Structure 1
Amino acid sequence: MAQITNLRIDPRTGFCSSNSTFYSKRKPFPLPSNRCLDITTFISSFPHHGKTAFIEAATGRHMSFSELWRGVDSVATCLSDLGIRKGHVVLIIAPNSIFFPIVCLSVMSLGAIITTSNPLNTPREIALQMADSKPALVFTTSQLVPTLAGSSLPIVLLDKQEIITASEAKIVVTMDQMMKKEPTGSRVRDRVYQDDAASLLYSSGTTGVSKGVISSHRNLMALMQSFSCMANPDEVLQTHICTVPMFHIYGFGAFALGKLTAGSTVVILSKFDTNEMLWAIEKYRATCLPLVPPILLGLVKGADQIRRKYDLSSLQSVLCGGAPLSNALINGFLEKFPTVNIRQGYALTETTGFGASMHSPEESRKYGTVGLLTASLEARIVDPATGSALQVNQTGELWLRGPSIMKGYLNNVEATALTLNSDGWLKTGDLCYIDGDGFLHVVDRLKEVIKYKGYQVPPAELEALLLSHPEISDAAVIPFPDEEVGQYPMAYVVRKTGSNVSETDVIDFVARQVAPYKKIRKLAFVTSIPKNPSGKILRRDLVKLATSKI
């Protein structure tokens, strides 16, 4: 990061006119000087007064911080006995559970790399990710074992249920058995450096199909330090409801790992259910609730009934990410829940959960923004057409640089080069501007990813699937706006000559092969797909065509 002491930075905006760079207005944080340090050891070193680390909402199971760290030590010992070493990839395919953080922390403590997959993914989607990441071991549940059909990888079961199908599955041990293992100091411990890879989460990035984002131990340490800086040491310990999936950077960074640094309690929902979420807020007197915009909309629409049925008086703040909130939705929520602050944020998998956020009630009143740049982060707003850096209140593509920026995409030098330049700037693919008070505004997306209920849906993946249909000659997939889910995939399809394939046939063809959130939900047949001279789909033209009929 550039030395900012000798730069002339506008204290109000964070903008430096001499290099056209915006600097975070928040106080920079230090990172450990010890090069040989893993993220698990780093997190365990944070002092705090917290007693309960995790609560599983469905079962009521509590896990103290001491039980957590003993469990991490036990599981790491078992993994070492199974031959897991530095650089090996370990895959976890599971819904949220009290075991999820233990698996991640144990794997990374050995210098191995944790990769996650959505439990809703189909066997085809999981096979593609496994072919790319080449895991040595899989943690999953008995219900999800069949999705590994054809794989001979050793499996650790996160539950105790009997395996009914997939008789070829190689179950080596259960998580409960691992947790009972007596930790030993004699296990193999490779030297782990801050710059070594720690996690491999999958993202669609700015374009194209899903790619493995390599984040280092140092990247994750930066995220932990940013959480630590946000915490108020004089504040009563917070209780968070984890509604977001831990396989995603939001749940992984903030709730599987991040809240451990402050001693907060995280109440884990295995899957999202509105009534279970509201019941958990009341039962555990939760203070903080992370959401995505469609869920916030549901709370606003059902507010009167919700307040009659549930006591939400403990709730202090709602954290909203995944997509920008409209002012109408913010005002609607504040009208129904006047004692609850809405704090918006912005982050990417490629920035290891960094971006912008709101820390205080005062900042949360800056409606229409996603907050101030995260501490130690630099930004540029760049004209997509000319590549020139822009100034305050000018809209362009957001570029970010700082200690949390990914190492790159796994096995994809070309995509890495398109996203990360030689000076360390990450091109986010988002059209943004920074206002006169230094707050970031997200205007639109240059990148083509569709956001369905906060989930990323890469159009290129669906287009490739559509083109595999024997009666389709061309296809394009676009985001179609929807109040309930944010956006859903809509397809424009060109039939092959003589084909009478129907809309239902095509929609069902895709639905059989993808996770539910990736389904095509609207389809139109056309004679041709508009493209530029280089063959790139003119997706914006198709979006205009689709939305002009609303």
Structure 2
Amino acid sequence: MEKSGYGRDGIYRSLRPPIVLPKEPNLSMVTFLLRNVSCYPEKPALIDADSGETLTFSQLRSTVIKLSHAFLNLGVDKNDRVLIFAPNSIRFPLCFFAVTAIGAIATTANPVYTVNELSKQLRDANPKLIVTVPELFDKVRDFNIPLIFLASKRNQQQFDLKSTPKILSFYDLVDLAGNVTEFPAVSRSVKQTDTAVLLYSSGTTGVSKGVILTHANFIAASLMVTMDQELAGDMHRVHLCVLPMFHAFGLAVIVCAQLQKGNALVSMAKFEFEMFLRNVEKYRATHLWVVPPIVLAMAKRNVVDKFDLSALKQIGSSAAPLGKDLMEECAKKFPPAAVIQGYGMTETCAFISMDSPVVGVRHTGSAGKLAPCIEAQIVGTENSKPLPPNQLGEIWVRGPNMMQGYFNNPEATKLTIDEKGWLHTGDLGYFDEDGNIYVVDRIKELIKYKGFQVFELISSMLTACSYSSSCSCIENLVEYTVPMLPAVFWFFICFINTHQVAPAELEGLLLSHPEILDAVVIPYPDAEAGEVPVAYVVRSPNGSVTEENVQNFIAKQVAPYKRLRNVTFINSVPKSVSGKILRRELIAKVGSKM
């Protein structure tokens, strides 16, 4: 095996030490998560930054036990689905753990969903119960499904599954359990192979689908995420969770992984930048997992200097590629902290690779080395052949954290997971010679620039022939063409094939400009080239950069076909809650104006 982890069979293997996965078949993710609580019972586990409420690990365990009994008393059985439709709070993971502890299946939804968007997921998942908050009541009131409110005020209405759905508060649910101190007997029958979570993702084929993740998937991902901490022997980390817990990243990488390791988790219900900074300071947060827009703000906004963020040891980013220049700029603002990057997707329980915070070259712009026990291939998009280091292709992965498939969708499952267990990510990337993986962009988001220069060249030669009167057209064609055949051949090789432009590459370069706060690059239809890259840019408040300035800035750093054909200045870049740029929104707007 090469230094990169690349083997003769075309497979890249993790360079990290392997993790030891538990072999006990009857083991739930919750039993695994709480296995070491007796070693640190009074250590803070969950802290609510909005209310100040704190639960120790001992209180975490006892509350989850009570809630698991309560869900059983409400008629929630093994394999029933329970929807959690709520913003972050310390009650979110408590209900999540209680549901999965009894073998029921937790599914989550984005609180900003419209009734129409939510109804599509409800039809697919068919939950028996919805856990939500009073502020979202209008979105769920007409579904005729019993509700639990994650509210501090008690609601004494009786809950009866056989009549019109009533509403219980979180504390009603706790009271329903009585004085229990051990998990219900059904918990002991939960297997690692049982489905634990149903997370909805657009995946690799566009339409939202339910990703089936087992208890074993979450156990493996939790161990992978915290391996570097295990090797460092560090047991005193404080993670601020500002990323949504309904998302795979927040749920698997932050909530489950960190709590199973004994780390404290500080929850924020919504993101507001100054409040985020204030909480980092107040709770002396040592570790952050955020998304590129937050890294961008931390690097470029002067308000950061008003807060004492010296406790930070690590700033991690994922969900979208983070450029080398932006990583370096952020690192200068926070000298004690390692700025690292990770890579994952819902279908891999949010984890595939991660930078090491202590080993190797810093700020490469890569997504680090493969997580323990992960295998990968870089496969040619034209011939499906495995590629060696420094060659670009689709990223395929497999390992113990990979999903079982898409819920009620065998066709989409077959398109994503092949017969050998390889999950086709739909991402374009490559490995370098040191085993670092670089994620370039989504294959579907590449701008396809078609080179027509060869046809222009041939056209000009034929035109030249027509101007000669001393010989026939054929003679002229030979006379003008033969000396140029090498050049014609070279132009043909260079330009007849479609060039692919990765928007993320150009966006990374744009963000390195001192007067640019944010940027997005999308394809624009072109009569000759098919598609060309255009940019939408957010200027810094005191910036005076012009369209020409931006175009020249990029032109100096890229090949001609990657140059920006147009630059438009906007107030903000549309992004999802997980930090991914919503290029489709801008593309649709551009298309509607044509």
For the aligned pair, the TM-score class normalised by the smaller chain equals 0.7 to 0.9
Aligned residues: 465
Separation in 2, partners of 1:440, 1:59: 40
Query: Which secondary structure does the structure 1 equivalent of 2:60 belong to?
Result: helix
Q: Quote the residue 1:151 is aligned against.
A: 143
Aligned 8 A contact 2:32 2:260 in 1: no
Partner of residue 56 from structure 1, selected from 41, 48, 57: 48
Give matches, 1:49-88, under 5 Å. Answer: 49=40, 51-88=43-80
Q: Quote the residue 2:270 is aligned against.
A: 271
CA gap 1:265/1:184 in 2 versus in 1, 3 angstroms = closer
1:238 pairs with 2:237: yes
Q: How much has 1:46 moved relative to structure 2?
A: 3.3
Q: Amino acid of the residue matched to residue 224 of structure 1?
A: S
1:138 pairs with 2:130: yes
Q: How much has 1:230 moved relative to structure 2?
A: 2.4
CA gap 1:487/1:203 in 2 versus in 1, 3 angstroms = farther
Q: How much has 1:93 moved relative to structure 2?
A: 0.4
Aligned 8 A contact 1:358 1:364 in 2: no
Q: Amino acid of the residue matched to residue 134 of structure 1?
A: N
Q: How much has 1:280 moved relative to structure 2?
A: 0.7
Separation in 1, partners of 2:181, 2:234: 37
Q: Quote the residue 1:523 is aligned against.
A: 589
Aligned 8 A contact 1:81 1:187 in 2: no
Aligned 8 A contact 2:154 2:170 in 1: no
Aligned 8 A contact 1:227 1:261 in 2: no
Query: Which secondary structure does the structure 2 equivalent of 1:342 belong to?
Result: strand
Amino-acid identity (%): 35
Q: How much has 1:491 moved relative to structure 2?
A: 11
Please list the CA deviations of residues 354-397 of structure 1 after superposition, one character each: whole Å capped at 9, or x if unmatched. 21002323346041101000000000010011011111111100
Aligned 8 A contact 1:68 1:102 in 2: yes
Q: Quote the residue 1:113 is aligned against.
A: 105
Separation in 2, partners of 1:103, 1:491: 46
Q: Quote the residue 1:13 is aligned against.
A: 4
Please list the CA deviations of residues 466-508 of structure 1 after superposition, one character each: whole Å capped at 9, or x if unmatched. xxxxxxxxxxxx989696666599999xxxxxxxxxxxxxxxx
Separation in 2, partners of 1:449, 1:417: 24
Between 1:386-395 and 1:325-334, the stretch displaced more is: 325-334
CA gap 1:119/1:30 in 2 versus in 1, 3 angstroms = same
Please list the CA deviations of residues 246-285 of structure 1 after superposition, one character each: whole Å capped at 9, or x if unmatched. 0011110022211112211111111111111111111111
Q: How much has 1:147 moved relative to structure 2?
A: 0.6
Q: Quote the residue 1:33 is aligned against.
A: 23
Q: Quote the residue 1:396 is aligned against.
A: 393
Query: Which secondary structure does the structure 2 equivalent of 1:255 belong to?
Result: helix
Query: Which secondary structure does the structure 1 equivalent of 2:294 belong to?
Result: helix
CA gap 1:58/1:118 in 2 versus in 1, 3 angstroms = same
Aligned 8 A contact 2:340 2:363 in 1: no
Unaligned 5+ segments in structure 2 are 156-162, 448-501, 512-516, 526-573
Q: Amino acid of the residue matched to residue 418 of structure 2?
A: N
Separation in 2, partners of 1:227, 1:525: 41
Aligned 8 A contact 1:211 1:410 in 2: yes
Q: Amino acid of the residue matched to residue 206 of structure 2?
A: G
Give matches, 1:187-266, under 5 Å. Answer: 187=184, 189=186, 191-232=189-230, 234-266=233-265
Aligned 8 A contact 2:68 2:183 in 1: no
CA gap 1:336/1:225 in 2 versus in 1, 3 angstroms = closer
CA gap 1:491/1:37 in 2 versus in 1, 3 angstroms = farther
TM-score (norm 2): 0.73
Q: How much has 1:30 moved relative to structure 2?
A: 1.9
Q: How much has 1:152 moved relative to structure 2?
A: 0.7
Q: How much has 1:186 moved relative to structure 2?
A: 8.8
Separation in 1, partners of 2:150, 2:519: 33
Q: Quote the residue 2:168 is aligned against.
A: 173
More helix by share: 2
Query: Which secondary structure does the structure 2 equivalent of 1:30 belong to?
Result: coil
Separation in 1, partners of 2:139, 2:164: 11
TM-score (norm 1): 0.79
Query: Which secondary structure does the structure 1 equivalent of 2:166 belong to?
Result: strand
Please list the CA deviations of residues 86-129 of structure 1 after superposition, one character each: whole Å capped at 9, or x if unmatched. 11010000000001111111111111110000001111111111
Q: How much has 1:193 moved relative to structure 2?
A: 1.4
Aligned 8 A contact 2:243 2:578 in 1: no
CA gap 1:364/1:159 in 2 versus in 1, 3 angstroms = farther
Separation in 1, partners of 2:209, 2:524: 22
Separation in 1, partners of 2:518, 2:61: 38
Aligned 8 A contact 2:40 2:57 in 1: no
Q: Quote the residue 1:93 is aligned against.
A: 85
Q: Amino acid of the residue matched to residue 291 of structure 2?
A: V
Q: Amino acid of the residue matched to residue 170 of structure 1?
A: P
Separation in 2, partners of 1:527, 1:236: 56
Separation in 1, partners of 2:146, 2:184: 20
Separation in 1, partners of 2:431, 2:264: 34
Q: Quote the residue 1:42 is aligned against.
A: 32
Aligned 8 A contact 1:204 1:449 in 2: no
Partner of residue 362 from structure 1, selected from 341, 359, 364: 359
Unaligned 5+ segments in structure 1 are 1-8, 451-477, 493-510, 529-550
Give matches, 1:128-527, under 5 Å. Answer: 128-160=120-152, 170-180=165-175, 181=177, 182-183=179-180, 187=184, 189=186, 191-232=189-230, 234-303=233-302, 305-307=303-305, 309-363=306-360, 365-447=362-444, 487=520, 520-521=585-586, 523-525=589-591
Aligned 8 A contact 2:103 2:196 in 1: yes
Query: Which secondary structure does the structure 1 equivalent of 2:328 belong to?
Result: helix
Separation in 2, partners of 1:250, 1:204: 14
Aligned 8 A contact 2:100 2:106 in 1: yes
Aligned 8 A contact 2:238 2:264 in 1: yes
Taking only aligned residues, the RMSD between alpha carbons, in angstroms, comes to 2.9
Aligned 8 A contact 1:317 1:341 in 2: yes
Q: Quote the residue 1:507 is aligned against.
A: none
